[in-house]
């Protein structure tokens, strides 16, 4: 008779991956009286000094960077707003959605990248803005719209930008790239304005973008492509509004996050310390699933000796009656 004990044991100790449905809709933020947040209300006030402000919404990290000047201001990153003026153009209306309302609730995010980027063959691609998930995530979708200033600049032109034309086959695209451990999982391009056909189309409502093809990610990276540019960069305003970013966190149950379990040092050369493991079961495997260490009913803190194992990536699997979680460690 064949012995399946080893295989059975492997399946018992390997973690059960749980998914936690999340949505970022900006309804939990405290909105400044002006109807938008771009970092200005938190800035120290020192002129021409950029300061960065991080905030977290439903396990997703965002950043906005703000610089005040003498009679001017600049920002980039991810701001948020509840402004819905779809009629007036110009810099003074840069925080409004062209859709005339938020997709859900009253608030929405708005992204504009830092200055710069690069000319490509027939278009200019901006620098990027990213959002970072607490854990690896499967991202389902995001709802997007144009900003009012961006849409009207494309439609009518302004002092900085020529109106788009079908003659020139103009377009303005949003590019969403998934990344996991700094490795790209794929890109999705979406036309915010498309003049490559017989008539120009500018998105004037909320549109859902399916992001499931990006697979498992730990961050999303947003940039833009436009056929309107000059020697200084893109000439149409590089903005888009978004709402209801939907995703599932992997390796989380209830309120559990990676911060619940402490593993250090990581990377390591010999020992790792694991805290908050009382009554848990621990198994360490290589990337192929081979068990190199296991212990049941652990103490509050465990010390594991990896000195006799080859350099590489290992997976620490921790299981209790209430949760299961996996963490990657690197042995140098």
Confirm if 93 and 148 have CB atoms less than 8 A apart: yes
Section 304-314 average pLDDT: 89
Are 233 and 281 contained in the same domain? Answer: no
Are 170 and 67 contained in the same domain? Answer: yes
How far apart are alpha carbons 106 and 103 in whole angstroms? 8
pLDDT band for position 319 (cuts 50, 70, 90): confident
| Neighbour-count burial for 222-236, b at 16+ CB within 10 Å, e otherwise | bbbbbbbbeeebbbb
* Domain CATH number, residue 46: 2.60.120.1350
Tokens of 94: 């840069």
Are 57 and 193 contained in the same domain? Answer: yes
Scan for tokens 């911060």, then name that residue: 259
Confirm if 129 and 221 have CB atoms less than 8 A apart: yes
> Quick one: pLDDT at residue 64?
96
Are 41 and 130 contained in the same domain? Answer: yes
Q: Please, what is the Cα angle at 211 between 16 and 114, to 5 degrees? A: 115
Are 220 and 273 contained in the same domain? Answer: no
pLDDT digits (tens, 9 = 90+) for 49-72: 999 999 999 989 999 999 999 999
Q: Is the pLDDT of residue 16 over 80?
A: no
Confirm if 257 and 285 have CB atoms less than 8 A apart: no
CA distances from 315 to 281, 308, 331 (A): 14, 16, 11
Are 242 and 308 contained in the same domain? Answer: no
> Quick one: pLDDT at residue 44?
94
Q: Is the pLDDT of residue 15 over 70?
A: no
* Domain CATH number, residue 293: 2.60.40.3080
Q: Other CB atoms closer than 10 Å to residue 65's CB: what's the count?
A: 19
Tokens of 116: 């710069």
pLDDT digits (tens, 9 = 90+) for 125-135: 999 999 999 88
Pick from 250, 281, 315: which residue ends a domain?
Answer: 250
Q: Is the pLDDT of residue 252 over 50?
A: no
pLDDT band for position 20 (cuts 50, 70, 90): low
Tokens of 221: 């990276």
Could you report how far apart the first and last alpha carbons of the chain are, in Å?
Answer: 41
Section 182-199 average pLDDT: 96
Pick from 211, 228, 250: which residue ends a domain?
Answer: 250
Are 283 and 230 contained in the same domain? Answer: no
Q: Which of 15-24, 121-130, 264-273 has the lowest mean pLDDT?
A: 15-24
Q: pTM value?
A: 0.72
> Quick one: pLDDT at residue 19?
53
Are 9 and 24 contained in the same domain? Answer: no
Pick from 250, 275, 302: which residue ends a domain?
Answer: 250
SS3 call for 5: helix
Section 205-216 average pLDDT: 97
The whole domain housing 147 covers: 19-250
Q: How far is Cα of residue 321 from the mean position of the Cα atoms in its chain? A: 31
Confirm if 274 and 304 have CB atoms less than 8 A apart: yes
How far apart are alpha carbons 149 and 313 in whole angstroms? 48
Are 215 and 304 contained in the same domain? Answer: no
Q: What total number of domains does the chain contain?
A: 2
């Amino acid at each position: 008779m064949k012995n399946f004990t080893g295989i059975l044991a492997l399946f018992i100790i390997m973690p059960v991956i749980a998914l936690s449905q999340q949505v970022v809709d900006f309804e939990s933020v405290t909105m400044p009286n002006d109807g938008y947040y771009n970092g200005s209300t938190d800035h120290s006030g020192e002129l021409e000094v950029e300061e960065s402000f991080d905030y977290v919404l439903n396990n997703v990290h965002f950043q906005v960077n703000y610089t005040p000047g003498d009679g001017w201001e600049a920002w980039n990153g991810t701001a948020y707003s509840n402004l819905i003026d779809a009629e007036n153009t110009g810099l003074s209306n840069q925080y409004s959605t062209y859709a005339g309302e938020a997709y859900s609730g009253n608030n929405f995010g708005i992204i504009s990248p830092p200055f710069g980027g690069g000319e490509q063959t027939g278009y200019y691609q901006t620098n990027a803005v990213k959002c970072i998930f607490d854990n690896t995530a499967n991202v389902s979708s995001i709802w997007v719209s144009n900003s009012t200033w961006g849409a009207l600049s494309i439609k009518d032109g302004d002092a900085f930008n020529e109106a788009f034309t079908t003659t020139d086959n103009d377009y303005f695209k949003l590019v969403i790239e998934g990344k996991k451990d700094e490795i790209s999982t794929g890109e999705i391009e979406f036309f915010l304005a498309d003049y490559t056909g017989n008539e120009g189309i500018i998105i004037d409502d909320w549109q859902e973008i399916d992001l499931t093809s990006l697979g498992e990610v730990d961050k999303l990276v947003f940039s833009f492509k436009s056929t309107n540019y000059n020697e200084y960069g893109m000439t149409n305003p590089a903005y888009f509004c978004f709402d209801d970013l939907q995703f599932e966190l992997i390796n989380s149950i209830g309120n559990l996050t990676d911060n619940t379990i402490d593993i250090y040092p990581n990377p390591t050369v010999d020992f790792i310390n694991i805290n908050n493991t009382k009554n848990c079961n621990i198994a360490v495997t290589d990337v192929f699933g081979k068990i190199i260490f296991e212990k049941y009913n652990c103490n509050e803190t465990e010390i594991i000796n990896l000195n006799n194992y080859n350099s590489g990536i290992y997976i620490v699997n921790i299981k209790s009656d209430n949760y299961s979680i996996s963490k990657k460690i690197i042995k140098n």
